[in-house]
């Protein structure tokens, strides 16, 4: 029968465990500092328009129908005006959901993080990229206004293959300029954003419609739209808006 660990050995385990954890934390902190040394200069986009990708026309936030930015925030980042680039609660919820589903279901990224990725980073899912994304997002929040971050995001985010920005998306899916879209059409564009290749009127209209209906309900409950606007949007969907 083996010997039981001595009391002295038992006392050493917490010490060594704490030392290892402290070393890991110190190493990770050093790695983050190293990655922060060559961050891009985000201040250039205070007034400058980012280089165009694919079909894109830059539309100022003031020219958009007011319901569209609100729909995007409700769908993508409901804490947008309260966080400073990172939504830790959303990240934790996304992590738990991914673990439960045993696959990546949610990313937990804020609008600011997604803007950082679209402007500066690749789509590869690596720790290095996620850390840089978070660092750039925090720098954006320190440098740019919320209004400017939202304006840039709506004009650079991808809404399908080669379709960048909300004006190009509106012309592609509704054959009209974005200032002319309805509440239902705004909800459709917002609902596509998690995965515009999958939640696409051409590929999975039934799945997209379920997301749109949920979003419209959320918008109604939060008084983003009125009951009359909600009823009209539901009628447009029932009339086959996603089939046009």
Assign domain 63-243 to a CATH class.
Answer: mainly alpha
User: What pTM value is reported for the model?
Assistant: 0.80
Two structure tokens written together for 210: 């379920």
Two structure tokens written together for 87: 């939504």
Angle at 91 between CA 207 and CA 98, to 5 degrees: 55
Backbone phi, psi, residue 185, to 5°? -70, -35
Residue ranges in the chain modelled with pLDDT below 70: 1-38, 55, 90-108, 244
Which residue in this structure is represented by tokens 């998306």?
169
DSSP symbols for 166-225: HHHHHHHHHSS-GGG--HHHHHHHHHHTT-TTTS-TTT-HHHHHHHHHHHHHHHHHTTSS
Backbone phi, psi, residue 55, to 5°? -85, 105
Counting DSSP H helices and E strands in the chain, the numbers are: 10, 0
CB within 8 Å of 20: residues ≥ 6 apart = none
pLDDT of residue 162: 87
pLDDT single digits (tens) 14-66: 655 555 555 555 554 554 454 455 688 989 999 998 887 776 789 999 999 99
């Amino acid at each position: 029968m083996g010997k039981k660990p001595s009391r002295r050995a038992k006392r050493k385990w917490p010490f060594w465990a704490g030392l290892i954890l402290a070393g890991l934390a110190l190493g990770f902190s050093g790695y983050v500092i190293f990655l922060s040394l060559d961050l891009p200069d985000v201040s250039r986009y205070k007034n400058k328009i980012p280089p165009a990708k694919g079909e894109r026309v830059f539309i100022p936030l003031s020219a958009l129908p007011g319901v569209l930015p609100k729909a995007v925030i409700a769908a993508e980042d409901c804490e947008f005006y309260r966080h400073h680039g990172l939504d830790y609660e959303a990240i934790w919820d996304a992590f738990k959901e991914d673990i439960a589903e045993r696959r990546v279901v949610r990313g937990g990224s804020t609008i600011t993080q997604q803007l950082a990725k679209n402007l500066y980073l690749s789509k590869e899912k690596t720790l290095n990229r996620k850390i840089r994304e978070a660092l750039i997002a925090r720098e954006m929040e320190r440098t740019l206004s919320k209004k400017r971050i939202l304006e840039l995001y709506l004009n650079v985010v991808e809404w399908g293959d080669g379709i960048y920005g909300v004006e190009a998306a509106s012309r592609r899916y509704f054959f009209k300029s974005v200032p002319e879209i309805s509440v239902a059409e705004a909800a459709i564009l917002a609902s596509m954003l998690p995965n515009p290749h999958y939640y696409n009127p051409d590929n999975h209209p039934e799945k997209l419609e379920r997301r749109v209906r949920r979003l419209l309900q959320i918008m109604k409950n939060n008084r983003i739209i009125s009951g009359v606007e909600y009823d009209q949007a539901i009628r447009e969907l029932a009339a086959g808006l996603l089939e046009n």
